[in-house]
């Protein structure tokens, strides 16, 4: 996935895995937009990311304070990012904001924790994916498409973050696993939906080189205990 010169938006980008990935993208020459609830953490994160820029004179970095658990947050974030990015929505979106609150299902706070996990882990990513897909695909909302006959545009990407508990169950994580199972199902559904709409767009344009090319994927999560220096060497974190 080439990132040099492209704009990447990352939720959960002010610390941990998100911040480490943002620093990697900066080293690869990308423009980076990070999203988090805390403006203070965002300010510190931007300073850290800027120190990694391959081309400090041309690369740009932006922070947006938002809570992914709030309904409707994503449309505002995408609009803010697009306004900052000369009217164009980010070409790559990575949803990294997430949390886990392990507890037994019979504990008093279990349902509260499960609902909040769904709000952050599932709906936070679901809303962002819909907002950016609307910006890319709906007429008048996304980046301009190349005229017929021009070269195929670079693919756009939506990345969801999963964990090992996206694929199998474990006692004590009933408050967390459903949100990741649901996210995995959404990724599969959106990938199929994009294949269908891509065929429709090709038929409408009568040109195989027109339209938006989009990839939707879910990557495995990285344990919180890993340090930034280790993450740099993770194969899944390497970008072209």
User: 235: which DSSP letter?
Assistant: G
Give me the CATH number covering residue 48.
3.40.50.720
Task: With respect to residue 168, please indicate whether it lies within any of the assigned structural domains.
Answer: yes
Catalytic residue among 122, 180, 202, 213: 180
Task: With respect to residue 88, please indicate whether it lies within any of the assigned structural domains.
Answer: yes
Task: With respect to residue 114, please indicate whether it lies within any of the assigned structural domains.
Answer: yes
Task: With respect to residue 184, please indicate whether it lies within any of the assigned structural domains.
Answer: yes
Structural domains counted in the chain: 1
Task: With respect to residue 2, please indicate whether it lies within any of the assigned structural domains.
Answer: no
Task: With respect to residue 33, please indicate whether it lies within any of the assigned structural domains.
Answer: yes
**CA pair distance 205, 219, nearest whole angstrom:** 33
Strand order in the sheet with 156-161: 61-65, 31-36, 7-11, 92-95, 156-161, 214-219
Task: With respect to residue 102, please indicate whether it lies within any of the assigned structural domains.
Answer: yes
Task: With respect to residue 134, please indicate whether it lies within any of the assigned structural domains.
Answer: yes
* 173: containing domain: 7-141+156-232
Instruction: Please state the pTM of the whole predicted model.
Output: 0.81
* Mean pLDDT to the nearest integer, 230-235: 31
Asked about 180 being catalytic, the answer comes back as yes
Name residue, tokens 């930034």. Answer: 228
| pLDDT tens-place string over residues 80-117 | 999 999 999 999 999 999 999 999 999 999 999 999 99
Which pLDDT score is estimated for 195? 76
**CA pair distance 60, 80, nearest whole angstrom:** 14
* Mean pLDDT to the nearest integer, 180-205: 77
Catalytic residue among 73, 176, 202, 213: 176
Asked about 213 being catalytic, the answer comes back as no
| Residue 222: partners with Cβ closer than 8 Å, 6 or more residues away | 17, 231, 234, 236, 237
**CA pair distance 202, 213, nearest whole angstrom:** 11
167-176, 185-194, 231-240: least confidently modelled range: 231-240
Share of the chain above pLDDT 70, in %: 75
């Amino acid at each position: 996935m080439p990132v040099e010169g492209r704009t990447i938006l990352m939720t959960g980008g002010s610390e941990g895995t998100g911040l480490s990935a943002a620093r990697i993208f900066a080293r690869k020459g990308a423009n980076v937009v990070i999203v988090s609830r805390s403006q203070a953490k965002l300010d510190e994160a931007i300073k850290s990311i800027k120190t990694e820029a391959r081309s400090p004179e041309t690369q740009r970095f932006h922070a947006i304070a938002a809570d992914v658990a709030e309904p409707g947050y994503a449309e505002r974030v995408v609009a803010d990012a697009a306004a900052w990015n000369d009217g164009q929505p980010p070409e790559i979106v990575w949803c990294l904001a997430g949390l886990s609150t392990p507890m037994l299902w019979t504990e008093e706070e279990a349902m509260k924790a499960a609902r909040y996990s769904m709000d952050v882990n599932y709906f936070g990513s679901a809303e962002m994916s819909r907002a950016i897909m609307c910006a890319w695909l709906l007429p008048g909302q996304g980046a301009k498409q190349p005229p017929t006959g021009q070269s195929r545009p670079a693919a756009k990407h939506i990345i969801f973050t999963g964990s090992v508990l996206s694929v199998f169950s474990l006692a004590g994580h009933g408050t967390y696993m459903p949100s990741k199972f649901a996210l995995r199902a959404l990724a599969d559904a959106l990938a199929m939906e994009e294949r269908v709409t891509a065929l429709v767009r090709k038929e409408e344009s009568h040109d195989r080189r027109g339209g938006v090319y989009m990839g939707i994927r879910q990557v495995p999560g990285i344990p919180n205990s890993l340090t930034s220096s280790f993450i740099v060497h993770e194969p899944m974190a390497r970008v072209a």
